[in-house]
Amino acid sequence: MTAPGVLPAQVGPGRKFFMNHPVTADSHTLAAYRARGGYQALAKVLGSGMSPADVTKEVSASGLLGHGGAAFPAGRKWGVVKLNDGEPHYVCMNADEGEPGTFKDRWLLEQVPHMCLEGLILGSYALMGRHAFIYIRGEFDLAWRRMRDAIEEAYAAGLLGERILGSDFSLDVVLYRGAGSYVCGEASAMLASLEGKKGWPRNRPPRLTVKGLYQKPTVVNNVETLANIPVIVGEGAEAFRKVGTAKSPGTQMISISGHIARPGVYEVEYGYSWETFLYEDCGGMQGGRALKCVIPGGVSTKVLDPEQLKGRTLDHASALAAGSQLGSGGMIAIAEGTCMVRLARVIQRFYHHESCGQCTPCREGMGWMERILDRIVRGEGRPEDIDRLYHISAANDGTTICSLGDSAGYACSAILDHYRHEFEHYITHGRSMMDGALTVEDPFAESLARWRAAHPGALAPSLAAAAAAGHA
């Protein structure tokens, strides 16, 4: 999901790998990237006789964890691909970014496309690939244009194509536009879609690193994972490990949206205080409202309330200890006064819509949960509905081909765990406990009222748009 009009921001102390230069009209170009040391990591590898296995060794030593959601160690994934087996090997950059709340890859693709591309080239060198792929979300128009231009610039500069920088290494890159399906972000579905087939996930084994694209060994990595590679290869694993925490080295790109005062894309060093990030860097909640909860890493991760965030740091171990995950870095801040029943319904509608339908618990369960939540929101909930939602969630756990089904279940049961009383109230009284519960003035209420007075009968725009249109 994209967040239109969100401006990037640099905040907080600590190292920045991606946001360490001003964004200007041409800072995404090859000339600008080279001026700040871009493609030196590639030149170092190709000029120093560093072998493909050496590059993988460096990435393993860096401790880099995947940024696509599961935080799988990148070096370990690369290390299982057998080099010199006579087979073509492929590296695919996963730029599908469909997780609701997540728009950090879009920033990277738009602002540092060459850094992402250099990471893909280095990854392909490490895996002895001759062709690499970028699967980009169809809706990402600027990101696609910037990546297309970056690829053209790279070919013209001898950074792609035959005998890159005069070496024996050759690589061609295919940029492929998806059609906006969430499930196509799942690695095996993405490869099926790349092959021109229906974007359906498939069971493993065989792993994609054994039989992936066109049945050949394939590594799928997230955009941000690959964008880290030039830093690791250029500065060395040891220097990389000095940033972040021992178990989560490096930085995390976080896209934050919801009721937060300063939404946008931020880069934080792992280990940074979660509360400082929310309340100081992001300015707390809009209109001075209190924080009700945070969805930490895309809607597939479990909600955390302010108590659970106390003293927490932004890194994988800390998020796990709190009972959730950093996921894809798509954080959604939710203010007091928000109805969690309606929120659960919106999330469930999304999962139902995006289920590919192959697995019965996911196909039937998502629709069933949506219908139950719809019924509760209509004021027709039944006392047994809460237990039924739990049961359907649990039925997905470990019984589906991909983790869409499990995640949907976790997301719903976590909301139920925290806010069961809101569901009970809705079922008993036929209306939300949150209706009329706002104790703090809505900063946009007055402007919206004026807009409504000026446009009788028309659908109201977003509150912010009403304000921007001069009705504030």
Ligand X SMILES: Cc1cc2nc3c(=O)[nH]c(=O)nc-3n(C[C@H](O)[C@H](O)[C@H](O)COP(=O)(O)O)c2cc1C
Least Å from the CB of residue 327 to ligand SF4:
17
How many residues contact ligand SF4, by CB under 6 A? 14
| Tokens read off for 462 | 């977003």
Residue 192 CA, distance from chain mean position: 21
Q: Is 98 in the site for ligand X (CB under 6 A)?
A: yes
Least Å from the CB of residue 406 to ligand X:
9
How far apart are alpha carbons 299 and 102 in whole angstroms?
Answer: 9
Q: How many residues does the chain have?
A: 472
Q: Which of 116, 127, 194, 220 binds ligand X (CB under 6 A)?
A: 220
Site residues for ligand SF4, 178-207, by CB under 6 A, read 183, 201
Query: What are the two backbone dihedrals, phi and then psi, of residue 450, each rounded to the nearest 5 degrees?
Result: -65, -40
The listed partner (ligand SF4, ligand X, none) that binds 363, CB under 5 to 8 Å by sort, is: ligand SF4
The listed partner (ligand SF4, ligand X, none) that binds 355, CB under 5 to 8 Å by sort, is: ligand SF4
For every residue of 198-261, DSSP letters joined together read: -------SSPTTTS-GGGS-EEEEEHHHHHTHHHHHHH-HHHHHTSB-SSSBSEEEEEEEESBS
Q: Is 404 in the site for ligand SF4 (CB under 6 A)?
A: yes
User: 359 or 466, CB closer to ligand SF4?
Assistant: 359
Q: Which of 7, 70, 449, 454 binds ligand X (CB under 6 A)?
A: 70
How far apart are alpha carbons 221 and 171 in whole angstroms?
Answer: 17
Q: Which burial class, exposed, middle or buried, applies to 353 when counting CB atoms under 10 A from its CB (0-12, 13-18, 19+)?
A: exposed
Please list, in sequence order, all residues whose beta carbon lies within 8 angstroms of the beta carbon of residue 182, skipping any fewer than 6 positions away. Answer: 98, 99, 350, 354, 404
Please list, in sequence order, all residues whose beta carbon lies within 8 angstroms of the beta carbon of residue 326, skipping any fewer than 6 positions away. Answer: 71, 252, 296, 297, 301, 314, 315, 316, 319
Least Å from the CB of residue 176 to ligand SF4:
21
How far apart are alpha carbons 321 and 268 in whole angstroms?
Answer: 19
User: 247 or 363, CB closer to ligand SF4?
Assistant: 363
The Cβ-side half-sphere exposure at 383, using a 13 Å CA radius, reads 0
Q: Which of 29, 221, 393, 400 binds ligand X (CB under 6 A)?
A: 221
Least Å from the CB of residue 21 to ligand X:
24
Least Å from the CB of residue 300 to ligand SF4:
12
By beta carbon distance, the residue nearest ligand SF4 is: 362
Q: Is 288 in the site for ligand SF4 (CB under 6 A)?
A: no
CA dist 328 → 98, 298, 305, 313 (Å): 10, 6, 19, 16
Q: Is 356 in the site for ligand X (CB under 6 A)?
A: no
Least Å from the CB of residue 99 to ligand SF4:
13
Q: Check: CB of residue 389 under 8 Å from CB of residue 424.
A: no
Q: Which of 52, 58, 97, 426 binds ligand X (CB under 6 A)?
A: 97
Return the range that interacts with ligand X (CB under 6 A); candidates 125-133, 258-266, 343-351, 399-407. 399-407
User: 359 or 416, CB closer to ligand SF4?
Assistant: 359
Q: Is 412 in the site for ligand SF4 (CB under 6 A)?
A: no
Q: Is 112 in the site for ligand SF4 (CB under 6 A)?
A: no
Instruction: Give the contact letters, 341-380, x = binds to ligand SF4 (CB under 6 A), - = no.
Output: --------------xxxxx--xx-----------------
Q: DSSP alpha helices (H): ranges in 338-432?
A: 340-354, 360-377, 385-396, 403-429
Query: What are the two backbone dihedrals, phi and then psi, of residue 289, each rounded to the nearest 5 degrees?
Result: -70, 160
Q: Give me the residues that bind ligand X (CB under 6 A), please.
A: 66-70, 72, 94, 96-99, 182-183, 185-187, 220-222, 225, 402-404
Q: Give me the residues that bind ligand SF4 (CB under 6 A), please.
A: 183, 201, 355-359, 362-363, 400-402, 404-405
